[in-house]
Amino acid sequence: MTEEDLIRGCLKHEHTSQRELYNLYFGKMMSVCIRYAKDQKEAKAILLNGFRNIFNEFKRFLEASGKVKKDHAATSLEEWIKKEIITAAIQQMHNNKKEYFVSSTVSMRDSEKSPNGEISDEQITKFANKQVILNALQGLTSSYRAIYNLHEIDGYSYPEISKLLDISEYTAKDSLSKAKFNLRRNLVRMISKQ
């Protein structure tokens, strides 16, 4: 089945097309979900909610791809699906509401930034495999994890993050700085145990 056939089938809510689209993008989108989730269970919930939204609102892909509205930049099917999955991940975070974005005027002390005897960046690079990095990322709070993923991995700008998460740009920048600090601390702790 071609991509055009999949799109036509999903627009008609055909289960065969929906199942094929899900199977085609399951691996890539699960990888995205795992980066945003605290664990495998939450990642699966995000994936299912994301695909439910995708199938219910598939006509939005036509708008995003520029096939209906010529003033929109063209978006590939994979880019659109990824954006919808990220939106589902952010929605999951908002639904949990266990953590809030709080901007702090307290800065990290110099001794916290680079304590004596700390593992170097080179050692982290040498010993941190994908699973260690993923575990360190999942060890962040959901708000730090979301901002880190949005900015550092998925390429969202601070204004886009601000709008998506309903926070100020300053809070987004401050939270990213803290996310990087905590991610590094998590990596150091995990590598030290090896």
Q: What percentage of the chain has pLDDT greater than the value 90?
A: 61
Confidence of residue 130 (pLDDT cuts 50, 70, 90): confident
Quick one: 62 and 130 in the same domain?
no
Confidence of residue 191 (pLDDT cuts 50, 70, 90): confident
Where does a domain end: 40, 65, 96?
96
Confidence of residue 108 (pLDDT cuts 50, 70, 90): very low
- Within a domain: residue 102? no
Q: What percentage of the chain has pLDDT greater than the value 70?
A: 84
Quick one: 87 and 120 in the same domain?
no
Return the structure tokens found at 10: 């999903």
Which residues fall within 8 angstroms of residue 57, CB to CB, at 6 or more apart? none
In terms of residue numbers, what domain contains 149?
A: 110-193
CA-closest candidate to residue 96, choices 57, 152, 39: 39
Q: How crowded is the C-beta side of 106, counted as CA atoms within 13 Å?
A: 3
Quick one: 29 and 88 in the same domain?
yes
- Within a domain: residue 148? yes
Asked whether residue 36 carries a pLDDT value surpassing 60, the answer given is: yes
First to last CA, the chain: 47
Quick one: 126 and 178 in the same domain?
yes
Quick one: 92 and 128 in the same domain?
no
- Please report the pLDDT score of residue 164 as a whole number: 92
- Within a domain: residue 8? yes
> What residue type is 83 in one-letter code?
K
Confidence of residue 98 (pLDDT cuts 50, 70, 90): low
- Please report the pLDDT score of residue 74 as a whole number: 58
CATH number where 132 lies: 1.10.10.10
CA-closest candidate to residue 94, choices 142, 54, 56: 142
- Better-scored residue on pLDDT, 55 or 117: 55
| CA pair distance 75, 85, nearest whole angstrom | 15
User: Helix 77-96 to helix 40-56 angle, to the nearest 10 degrees?
Assistant: 120
CATH number where 88 lies: 1.10.1740
Quick one: 145 and 170 in the same domain?
yes
Quick one: 119 and 90 in the same domain?
no
Which residues fall within 8 angstroms of residue 10, CB to CB, at 6 or more apart? 17, 18, 21, 54, 55, 58
Asked whether residue 110 carries a pLDDT value surpassing 50, the answer given is: no
Say what the alpha-carbon torsion angle 76, 80, 85, 91 is, to the nearest 10 degrees. Answer: 160
Alpha-carbon separation of residue 97 from 90, 100, 123, 133 (angstroms) = 11, 7, 36, 25
Confidence of residue 69 (pLDDT cuts 50, 70, 90): very low
- Please report the pLDDT score of residue 172 as a whole number: 95
